[in-house]
């Protein structure tokens, strides 16, 4: 964790992955050549009823072997997702005890987004059974 601050809409926590080397998803070559850095904003579990947003600084690497540019992977946040995995699990539990509509309104998550999260976890859980 780098720093945290209180915003008008919640709690902001700035984090950065400390690894300086990443494996290329295209060819498997390990590289430490940083291309640039991007900041991803993702929502995480609330602290003291305050919504929490993680500002994750993600390094993008250029592979030495195949020259592709790729982002460092994050264990708890899949690419293109604006919520951490544990936050999605939490939303799923809430929907189980309520309705998607109710949870969407209470937690200010767009209905279609929440619906997608809910059904993706529900189908994952169905496979585990």
For 17-110, where are the alpha helices, taking DSSP H only? 85-96, 100-107
> Is residue 107 within 8 Å of residue 91, measured between CB atoms?
yes
Interface pattern 4-43 for Zn ion (x via CB under 5 A)? --------------------x-xx-x--------------
One residue of 7, 30, 45, 66 binding Zn ion per CB under 5 A: 66
The answer to whether residue 99 forms part of the interface with Zn ion (CB under 5 A) is no
Partners of 31 in beta bridges:
22
Q: Which stretch binds Zn ion (CB under 5 A): 7-15, 40-48, 55-63, 78-86?
A: 55-63
Closest residue by Cα to residue 92 from 66, 60, 64, 125: 125
Rg (CA), the chain: 17
Chain-centre distance for alpha carbon 44: 8
User: Which two three-digit tokens encode residue 129?
Assistant: 């059974």
Pick between residue 67 and residue 76 the one whose CB is nearest to Zn ion.
Answer: 67
Q: How far is the CB of 41 from Zn ion (least distance, A)?
A: 28
The answer to whether residue 63 forms part of the interface with Zn ion (CB under 5 A) is yes
Binding site for Zn ion (CB under 5 A): 24, 26-27, 29, 63, 65-66
């Amino acid at each position: 964790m780098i720093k945290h601050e209180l915003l008008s809409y919640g709690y902001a926590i700035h984090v950065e992955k400390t690894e300086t080397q990443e494996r290329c998803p295209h060819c498997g070559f390990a590289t430490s050549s940083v291309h640039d850095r991007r900041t991803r904003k993702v929502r995480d579990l609330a602290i003291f009823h305050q919504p929490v947003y993680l500002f994750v600084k993600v390094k993008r690497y250029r592979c030495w072997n195949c020259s592709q540019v790729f982002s460092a992977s994050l264990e708890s946040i899949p690419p293109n997702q604006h919520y951490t995995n544990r936050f999605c699990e939490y939303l799923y539990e809430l929907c189980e005890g309520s309705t998607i509509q109710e949870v969407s309104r209470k937690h200010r998550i767009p209905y279609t987004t929440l619906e997608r999260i809910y059904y993706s976890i529900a189908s994952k859980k169905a496979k585990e059974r």
